[in-house]
Amino acid sequence: MMDGRVRHEIITSSAAPEKLKVQRKIWLAKTSDGSYSVTLRAAMVVGHRSVDEVRAAPK
């Protein structure tokens, strides 16, 4: 598992971590009848996006 490795590399090769701005975004997609949904949570740091979590669920 590479949890956080890419983000760690970006942060350590950039400005001081406490000065970096982390933008977070959530995307949600559902089937037309609402019977299934997928959620993706991601973070953007120094122009690089990394996926934090993905969930897929039947309703």
Q: Which of 16, 12, 17, 6 is nearest to 48 (CA)?
A: 6
In the block, residue with structure tokens 């997609």: 29
Cβ atoms of 40 and 57 within 8 Å: the answer is: no
pTM: 0.67
Query: Domain map of the chain by residue range?
Result: 5-58
| pLDDT, tens only, 2-47 | 456 656 666 676 667 677 788 999 999 999 999 999 999 998 887 8
Question: Bridge-partner residues for 56, per DSSP?
Answer: 38
